[in-house]
Amino acid sequence: MSNVIQLLPDHVANQIAAGEVVQRPASVIKELLENSIDAKASRIQVVIKDAGKTLIQVVDDGEGMSLTDARMSFERHATSKIKLADDLFSLKTKGFRGEALASIAAIAHVELKTKTEEDEVGTCIKVEGSKVVSQDPCVTPKGTSICVKNLFYNIPARRNFLKSDNVETRHIIDEFQRVALAHPDISFSLTHNGNELFQLPPTNFRQRITNILGGKTNEKLVPVEEDTEIVKISGFVGKPEFAKKSRGEQFFFVNNRFIKSPYLNHAVVASFEGLLKEKSYPTYFLYLEVDPKSIDINIHPTKTEIKFDDEHALYAILKSAIKHSLGQFNVAPMLDFERDSELDTPYDYKNKEVNTPHIEVDRDFNPFQNEGNRGTSFSGGGNFRREKPAEWESLYSGMQQETETDVDIKQIEFESEEVTGDLFGTREEAPEKSTFQLHKKYIVSTLKSGILVIDQHRAHTRVLYEELLKNITVSAAVSQQLLFPLKLQFNYNEVEMLKELMESLEQTGFIFSEINKEELEITGIPTLISESEVQILLEQLLADFEKDVPHDGFSQTDLLAKSLAKSMAVRSGTLLNSAEQQHIVNRLFACKEPALNPFNKTVFITLSVDELDKKFA
């Protein structure tokens, strides 16, 4: 039998490694930004075109590289961060495995320009598909500039799996924000197709959060501080009333590295117990500093998952720290047994003597005596004499004469309580009540063959879904104009998502008068909703479209109608009168598919008389 096992060529191995490290353009941004930070850059510029598919350029003013280092940086597992396996447990840098540039160069055209402060000229290296095309000296400022062009040009299957430009841009912005939030002392900028999306000057943590997510974010933040032997916690959590329907604004940073941890996320949610509405998620920006020896960050290619030595202690500390902050800033109720300074005696009264009041009581007081026969005095800071009241017998003066007058009761006419007629002639008898509500959740109606039980929320969702589909398709929606424009705050990604849905939203009845990076101004809303519900409805819509906005016309319309119908439908627990119950029933059975709601859940069930008879057999 011939031998079948062989070593893979380097370019094939690099392409396989690239599949783990470089999943999309955002992965390239992350790796290049981390390299710039490791190079001690104070200013980093990111330029992208066509959502990174055509060009990704990262320019920094870091230390730069020498000619030899620049050439070696494209080799597999070439790194200056570690020399021994033990070094993996004392890492303080972002990158350390030496596979980022090699993986990127295997699937793109890469041009590297770099120069150290000591060198007179820099180095320019061009690599295409792991193959060095040229290496020349060049004039370039101190630092490093890397251009990545035509990503996945030699792996067309991977390129075909990329999403639309809008989706890929959102992923890039997510990675950019994660790195920028972890390093507020560094200046960052991001430009897409010639438009500047972010310009972030060096600042502190709170201001960096505000610069990225909008000026209104500042008032929503509650600071969290805790310093223990195991972990040092700093950062901010959002106030419960500003909780969102999606998990977008949740950030954990461990030693200035963004991580994802469902276990620690549970600790944060548990600390908000009793403060959040149903299906709402808290906002948080938490920075954890731990001993590098107590964590392992080498368990995932993208280094977004970390293993902690003592997760249970970290869970308890994080939960108690957030609870303490929420109580300290009067966001949550808190018992405080320490002295409250507001209860102290005012300064002016501190040394003032207390005067004991002197009270004299007239023990012979009789309220039915004439005022002239007694005296009443009260002393204790002042005397006063009560005005002489009218004698109590005077209250009944004149009653004797009135009762003596004879009144013929038969002559008194009373208004009849019986309804004898109607304004519009003969009044029809009120129809019998054909429906009633059960537990504020189900509508029960009678049939010739038995009983009909309808889930009111699912039924109304089906009715609204078909109505919204019709309005969006034929543009027949009716808007109600607002007396004052409604201004709503959203972050950049959310605004971009709403821009994609704007045309469909306008066909449902929304009217947008102004839209910018952080704010929407709405002057008209659909007639089916109230002004107070607009914010909740749009947040739920963004949560439903969080992963992707379909570009296929029908898919986008269908998902939009489902989301709006679910948010606008009457909830379980809502009391409905007879007319509302009958209205829902009538409109439900006028639908094309009354038996199922838009999410393929059963809307109603029937119980026949035979089935009821069997229950009593």
- Per the model's pLDDT, the better-predicted residue between 553 and 427 turns out to be 553
Task: Give pLDDT tens digits for 598-616.
Answer: 888 999 999 888 888 888 8
- Per the model's pLDDT, the better-predicted residue between 34 and 358 turns out to be 34
Q: Is residue 380 domain-resident?
A: no
Phi, psi dihedrals of residue 241, rounded to the nearest 5° = -70, -15
DSSP letter for each residue of 35-58: HHHHTT-SEEEEEEEGGGTSEEEE
Domain residue limits at 34:
10-200
Q: What is the pLDDT of residue 84?
A: 58
Within 13 Å and on the Cβ side, how many CA atoms surround 139? 0
Nearest CA among 69, 89, 92, 91 for reference residue 79: 69
Per the structure block, which two tokens stand in for 199? 């310009």
Q: What is the pLDDT of residue 578?
A: 87
* Reported confidence tier of residue 422, pLDDT bands at 50, 70, 90: very low
Please determine, for residue 403, whether its predicted confidence score (pLDDT) is greater than 70. no
Task: Look up the CATH number of the domain holding residue 63.
Answer: 3.30.565.10
Polymer length of the chain: 617
Task: Give pLDDT tens digits for 472-510.
Answer: 777 667 788 888 888 888 888 888 888 888 888 888 888
Q: Is residue 355 domain-resident?
A: no
Which of 22-36, 415-429, 431-445, 489-503 has the largest mean confidence? 22-36
Please determine, for residue 87, whether its predicted confidence score (pLDDT) is greater than 60. no
* Reported confidence tier of residue 554, pLDDT bands at 50, 70, 90: low
**Are both 242 and 160 inside the same structural domain?**
no
Question: What number of other Cβ atoms are within 10 A of residue 40's Cβ?
Answer: 12
Please determine, for residue 450, whether its predicted confidence score (pLDDT) is greater than 50. yes
Q: Are 118 and 106 in contact (CB under 8 A)?
A: no
CA angle 432, 436, 438 (to 5 degrees): 165
Nearest CA among 612, 369, 564 for reference residue 460: 564
Instruction: Look at residue 90 and give its three-state secondary structure.
Output: coil
Positive or negative: CA dihedral 387, 388, 391, 395: negative
Instruction: Look at residue 607 and give its three-state secondary structure.
Output: strand
Phi, psi dihedrals of residue 56, rounded to the nearest 5° = -130, 120
Question: What number of other Cβ atoms are within 10 A of residue 186's Cβ?
Answer: 21
CA–CA dist 94, 35 (Å, integer)? 7
**Are both 105 and 240 inside the same structural domain?**
no
Q: What is the pLDDT of residue 149?
A: 92
Please determine, for residue 548, whether its predicted confidence score (pLDDT) is greater than 50. yes
**Are both 183 and 240 inside the same structural domain?**
no
**Are both 269 and 184 inside the same structural domain?**
no
Q: What is the pLDDT of residue 346?
A: 59
Task: Look up the CATH number of the domain holding residue 573.
Answer: 3.30.1370.100
Place of tokens 């007639």: 527
Nearest CA among 139, 343, 306, 324 for reference residue 223: 324
Q: Is residue 417 domain-resident?
A: no
Q: Is residue 45 domain-resident?
A: yes
Question: What number of other Cβ atoms are within 10 A of residue 342's Cβ?
Answer: 5
**Are both 27 and 170 inside the same structural domain?**
yes
Q: Is residue 498 domain-resident?
A: yes
**Are both 163 and 17 inside the same structural domain?**
yes
Residue that is last in its domain, among 328, 349, 365: 328
Between 492-508 and 534-544, two packed helices, what is the crossing angle to 10 degrees? 110
**Are both 30 and 165 inside the same structural domain?**
yes
**Are both 176 and 280 inside the same structural domain?**
no
Please determine, for residue 46, whether its predicted confidence score (pLDDT) is greater than 90. yes
Task: Give pLDDT tens digits for 236-289.
Answer: 999 888 888 777 788 999 888 888 888 899 999 999 888 888 778 888 999 999
**Are both 247 and 278 inside the same structural domain?**
yes
Q: Percent of the chain, pLDDT > 70?
A: 78
**End-to-end CA gap in the chain:** 77
**Are both 196 and 261 inside the same structural domain?**
no
Positive or negative: CA dihedral 554, 559, 563, 565: positive
Q: What is the pLDDT of residue 244?
A: 82
If you average pLDDT over residues 58-69, what whole number do you get?
89
Task: Look up the CATH number of the domain holding residue 294.
Answer: 3.30.230.10
CA–CA dist 416, 413 (Å, integer)? 9
Task: Give pLDDT tens digits for 149-200.
Answer: 998 888 888 888 888 888 888 889 999 999 999 999 999 999 999 889 899 9
**Are both 45 and 183 inside the same structural domain?**
yes
- The total of structural domains in the chain comes to 3
